[in-house]
């Protein structure tokens, strides 16, 4: 157990499974951050991987930073996760607090178990979130709800998180793995380059003027016309069969 990585990475076909593994509550320490960065690098290096699922061991997703990181001069760096080009699904198996929630905010989808709770409680200890929470939460759930969560430091349950759009779906614990995997498998059947471009154009496009964003979308479409997958998609549609994409 002592040699186990605090973030495990397992690749199976087109899916990569990242697992936060620092029992009992997956508090983030420096080693975990570098393990996370390494796991993300492995995904970057494996072109066969089309979708990643980020989960956690036990029945807690993560209770946030450990004391050392909490008082460190440098904020935690989640950019290796946030900058992954492929879609990433967070499978939230329990409470996601502070930096634990901020990690989930770096993902594209969030599926949570019904007993999970969520909070960015930093203002209650005289701090502000430092892993992007003040920036990503309002972009995800809107300014009104984000400010309420940040200013009150309150904890919300899974159904409220679903209502405000913080999580995409809420499921019972026994169904979590299957739900995340079902979504991942579905996404993995789509054309890989189109998936990456879509993620890129939605993320970057929302920071541009509409005119620039439309131009960016068009340019990526033109680029996609040069891919084999695009020809395969069209051909399969005309032949009324499911397409087989290779990522070329």
Partner 1 sequence: MNAFETVLYDKLPSIALVTLNRPRALNAINIRMRDELWQVIGAVRDDPDVQVVIFRGAGDRAFSAGADITEFGTAPSPVIARQVRWQRDLWGTLASFSKPLIAAIQGYALGAGLELAMCCDIRIASDDSRLGLPETTLGMIPAAGGTQTMPRLIPPAMAAQLCITGEMVAARDALGIGLLNRVVPRDELFPTARKIAEKIIANDQRAVRTAKEAVRRGLDLPLVEGLELERRLRSRLGK
Angle at which helix 210-224 crosses helix 192-205, to 10 degrees, equals 170
**Of 56 and 150, which has the nearer Cβ to partner 1?**
150
* The binder of partner 1 chosen from 4, 48, 127, 218 (CB under 8 A): 127
Residue in the block written with tokens 């002592």 = 2
Least Cβ distance, residue 137 to partner 1 (angstroms) = 8
Residue 55's SS3 state is strand
Residue 83's SS3 state is coil
Check binding of 139 to partner 1 (CB under 8 A).
yes
* The binder of partner 1 chosen from 6, 26, 62, 130 (CB under 8 A): 130
Which stretch, 16-24, 30-38, 68-76, 237-245, contacts partner 1 (CB under 8 A)?
A: 68-76
Check binding of 148 to partner 1 (CB under 8 A).
yes
Check binding of 58 to partner 1 (CB under 8 A).
no
* The binder of partner 1 chosen from 2, 45, 47, 73 (CB under 8 A): 73
Catalytic residue flag (residue 102): yes
- From residue 1, alpha-carbon distances to 5, 21, 23, 132, 244 in Å are 9, 10, 11, 31, 40
* The binder of partner 1 chosen from 13, 23, 24, 142 (CB under 8 A): 142
Contact status, residue 95 vs residue 117, Cβ threshold 8 Å: yes
Contact status, residue 96 vs residue 154, Cβ threshold 8 Å: no
Catalytic residue flag (residue 175): no
Determine which one of 8, 46, 68, 122 is catalytic. Answer: 122
Least Cβ distance, residue 235 to partner 1 (angstroms) = 36
**Of 70 and 224, which has the nearer Cβ to partner 1?**
70
Check binding of 143 to partner 1 (CB under 8 A).
yes
Check binding of 126 to partner 1 (CB under 8 A).
yes
Q: Please list the alpha-helical segments (H only) found in the chain.
A: 30-45, 67-70, 79-82, 99-105, 133-141, 143-152, 158-163, 173-188, 192-205, 210-224, 228-238
User: What are φ and ψ of residue 246, in 5° steps?
Assistant: -110, -10
**Of 91 and 120, which has the nearer Cβ to partner 1?**
120
Determine which one of 102, 200, 207, 217 is catalytic. Answer: 102
192 CB burial (10 A radius; 0-12, 13-18, 19+): buried
**Of 37 and 236, which has the nearer Cβ to partner 1?**
37
Check binding of 151 to partner 1 (CB under 8 A).
yes
- Give, in degrees to the nearest 5, the angle at Cα 136 between 132 and 141: 145
- Which positions touch partner 1 (CB under 8 A)? 70-71, 73, 75, 122-130, 132-136, 138-139, 141-148, 150-154, 164, 203, 207
Residues forming the active site: 102, 122
């Amino acid at each position: 157990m002592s040699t186990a990585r605090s973030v495990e990475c397992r690749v199976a076909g087109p899916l990569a499974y990242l697992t936060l593994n620092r029992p009992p509550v997956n508090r983030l320490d420096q080693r975990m951050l570098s393990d996370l960065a390494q796991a993300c690098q492995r995904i970057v290096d494996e072109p066969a991987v089309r979708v990643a699922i980020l989960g956690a061991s036990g029945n807690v997703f993560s209770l946030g930073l450990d004391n050392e990181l909490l008082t460190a001069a440098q904020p935690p760096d989640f950019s290796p996760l946030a900058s992954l080009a492929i879609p990433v699904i967070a499978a939230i198996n329990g409470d996601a607090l502070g930096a634990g929630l901020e990690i989930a905010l770096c993902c594209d989808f969030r599926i949570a178990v019904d007993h999970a709770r969520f909070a960015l409680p930093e203002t209650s200890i005289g701090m502000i979130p430092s892993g992007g929470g003040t920036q990503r939460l309002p972009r995800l759930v809107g300014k009104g709800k984000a400010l309420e969560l940040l200013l009150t430091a309150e904890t919300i349950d899974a159904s409220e998180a679903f209502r405000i759009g913080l999580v995409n779906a809420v499921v019972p614990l026994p169904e979590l793995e299957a739900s995340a995997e079902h979504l991942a498998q579905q996404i993995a059947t789509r054309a890989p380059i189109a998936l990456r471009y879509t993620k890129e154009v939605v993320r970057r496009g929302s920071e541009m003027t509409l005119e620039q964003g439309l131009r960016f979308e068009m340019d990526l479409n033109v680029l996609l016309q040069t891919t084999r997958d695009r020809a395969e998609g069209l051909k399969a549609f005309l032949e009324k069969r499911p397409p087989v994409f290779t990522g070329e």
